[in-house]
Amino acid sequence: METTGLGSAELSMEVPAGRVLPYTTSKQEWDRHRATIEDLYREKNKTLTEVISIMERNHHFKATIKMYKNKITQWGLDKKNKENEIVAFIRKTTQRAAVGKKSVIRIRGRVLDPEEAERYLKRKRLSIEIVRAQSAPTPWTGMLHTQRGPEVFSIPEHIFTLIRDYITGSFESGTWISESCTSVKGSRDVEIALTNLVQCPGLACNFFDDSLPEDGARMLVTAVASSQNLLIAEPPELMNYLFRLIFLLQARKRPEIIPHILGQFSAVATVVLSTGHPIGQICGYLFSYGPYNTTNLVELAWQSAVDRFESVLGQTNLSVLHFRTNYVAANPKVGLEEAESGLRDLLHRCIAVHGADADESLALLSEITKNLLCQGKYAEAEKTARDSLAALSHTMARNGPYLYCDCLSTLVHAQNALGKNDQAEASFRQAINLSASIWGWGDSQTIDYLFSLEKFLVQEGKNDSAAEVRTQRREIIASLDVFV
């Protein structure tokens, strides 16, 4: 029998034959030996068994393997590679190599060998080529540190520099034409592809909300299907549409979609443009931020892009006005009344410079109409939409049908809100027929109108008519040449 004195009390403990007492290593002892254990385990890369043996033999420090494992986790010394860290490592080293920089990167204090990272990907059956193609910078987590640690935290300023240099350089090099704000590499399908980039994810959100996941998935595939053509064409509007899309998905509570689209653009840009191309890097940076941390960064990046376009093209340029009104309309920090005031101020300046029937003025009037609708000023929105449609009917040959359809859509929603249901249905069907005659039944704009008409008819209790429209819409979506 073994007795241990505890003050005036006594604790008797019978130790069975062949058994030893458990270790009772104190926190002070662990703290005293921590540096030695870290050096052996992390710096000298000893196995845990080797560390335990060395500590017992050379330092007379005894603890169980379970105790060691608990401390290793607590001190952040875990050697087990994690997929997100390995992917970030490959992207970081690829990005730095592209600009002639060598990297020594530590994960939880341990230098990671590139060959070790590649072996990990092979074991996980992950393609290193695809990971390298998405050569985004290190995620904003603080897990990875290069020898120049502050570079990890310079992402925002680098994005703004990329945006400014990309816009200015594209105009100076002649890739973009300042008079028309178009790309010399553009094609006739670019405008439709840009519209799909925002319209299709918006439709996907509608379908997901209505428990129609297959239709939603087809819309998302359609949204990114033209990413290669858009990147080859390099239209000046591409950044504006990507920023709009991120704000849209945040507003629709679908941020998980954002990295899929940004990752696609970042990867494709590396293939069709170059590894270090600005638009690919911008998408890569936003992708690395994660879907829940991009809003403030995108707001600042978008503002930076609009300001740069304005400095090159002027405040009343049609494209600049389009970019700025999109930014104001999408930004949740800008109040609707404040936005209306700003839009009307721009409209007055445009009319003074270009005239009331100029494309610039009509585009602003269309944005004001949508703003009035959002404010609940339905009667004023209806009147403004009718005025806009009357003016646009005389200029459609010059500015195309996009603005006309946009105003027609606003008119529909204003009439619906005012209880002018017969007029609203007639306007819906006019919008559908016009859109289908110009862009086809498979166009995202046409499908959006069909979906809106279907919901309107259900709301009106016209279930048979709604079923007909639903069948038509589903047949159109099923016929789209996409793979889900």
Dig out the tokens for 81 from the structure: 């590679």
- Say if residues 217 and 461 touch (Cβ distance below 8 Å): no
Q: What is the CA radius of gyration of the chain?
A: 30
pLDDT score, position 5: 36
Judge residue 429's burial from the number of C-beta atoms within 10 Å of its C-beta, 0-12 exposed, 13-18 middle, 19 or more buried.
Answer: middle
* Beta-strand relationship, 2-6 and 176-177: unpaired
3-class SS at 355? coil
pLDDT score, position 110: 64
- The angle subtended at Cα 297 by Cα 294 and Cα 302, nearest 5°, is 115
pLDDT score, position 366: 85
pLDDT score, position 441: 87
Report pLDDT digits (tens) over 167-208.
988 898 888 988 878 888 866 678 788 888 888 898 889 888
pLDDT score, position 104: 66
pLDDT in tens, the chain (484 residues): 333 333 333 333 343 444 444 455 777 888 888 888 888 887 787 888 899 999 988 888 888 888 888 888 777 777 666 666 677 777 677 666 655 666 666 665 566 777 777 777 677 665 555 555 544 433 323 333 333 333 333 456 778 888 888 898 889 888 898 887 888 886 667 878 888 888 889 888 988 888 888 888 888 888 888 888 888 888 999 999 999 899 888 888 888 888 888 888 888 888 888 777 888 888 888 887 766 566 677 888 888 898 899 888 887 787 888 788 788 777 766 677 877 887 888 788 888 888 888 877 888 888 888 889 888 999 999 999 998 888 887 766 555 577 788 888 889 889 988 989 899 889 889 888 888 888 788 888 888 888 888 888 998 899 999 999 999 988 888 887 654 4
The Cα-based distances of 375 to 236, 411, 421 in angstroms read 31, 14, 20
- The angle subtended at Cα 137 by Cα 114 and Cα 222, nearest 5°, is 110
pLDDT score, position 380: 93
Alpha-carbon distance of 267 to 298, in angstroms, equals 19
Alpha-carbon distance of 424 to 414, in angstroms, equals 8
- Say if residues 80 and 123 touch (Cβ distance below 8 Å): no
Note the maximum CA span of the chain: 107
Distance of CA 259 to the CA centre of its chain: 5
Q: What share of the chain is helix, strand, coil (3-state, %, to 5)?
A: 70, 5, 25
- Residue in 348, 345, 304 with CA at minimum distance from that of residue 323: 304
pLDDT score, position 17: 44
> Terminal CA-to-CA distance of the chain, rounded, Å?
73
- Residue in 126, 43, 122 with CA at minimum distance from that of residue 79: 43
pLDDT score, position 403: 77
How high is the mean pLDDT of the chain? 77
Quote the pTM value. 0.58
pLDDT score, position 118: 76
